[in-house]
Amino acid sequence: MPHDAGVATEFKITLGESVVATVAATISALVLEVPVWAMFVGWISYFTRGVNLRQGLINLTCVFTGLGLGIAAGAATHALTPHLGSATLTVVVFAMSVVVLSLRHLPVFNNLLGFFLGLVAFFASHQPPSWSAFADLGLAAGIGTTAACIATVLQRRALRTGARA
């Protein structure tokens, strides 16, 4: 493929990926009313390991697990603070670190970055620990993972078409 054709193909891919990200952000914010930044947590998780549908779903499951652990940590913090005071943070962070770092030894669902993306997403949301928080953040991450997968499929098609031209 000549250099000019390669640049044109890459530009088309960039525009296509940008359109997919824009549509995902718009649907997240205006239709589903979930945080756009949380949608990008799902987008990022898709690319953390093995860029294909199977690995993307595994990565998203790890984000969901991290969200659940974040909610559990939030609930534990709320429950323990009256008893442990300022030591609560130390106890909860240590316990969560042991759990999350141990999960990397699972046979398939062992994406440490996915777990931490979920944990960070929960705490960044500043929502109280609840199923509603899990649903909102999980939906947003799911939209992001779906969008990243679509963008990847479109990129691969464009590259195959560009290679034939």
Contact status, residue 125 vs residue 138, Cβ threshold 8 Å: no
What is residue 158's predicted lDDT score, i.e. its pLDDT? 87
* Backbone φ and ψ of 84, nearest 5°: -110, -10
At residue 70's C-alpha, the angle toward residues 87 and 106, to 5°, is: 110
Confidence of residue 9 (pLDDT cuts 50, 70, 90): confident
Contact status, residue 144 vs residue 40, Cβ threshold 8 Å: yes
What is residue 3's predicted lDDT score, i.e. its pLDDT? 58
On whether the pTM is more than 0.85, the answer is yes
What integer is the mean pLDDT of 55-79? 98
DSSP summary character for residue 126: T
d(Cα 150, Cα 46) in Å, to the nearest integer? 11
What integer is the mean pLDDT of 59-71? 98
Contact status, residue 55 vs residue 108, Cβ threshold 8 Å: no
Residue 141 exposure: Cα atoms within 13 Å on the Cβ side:
33
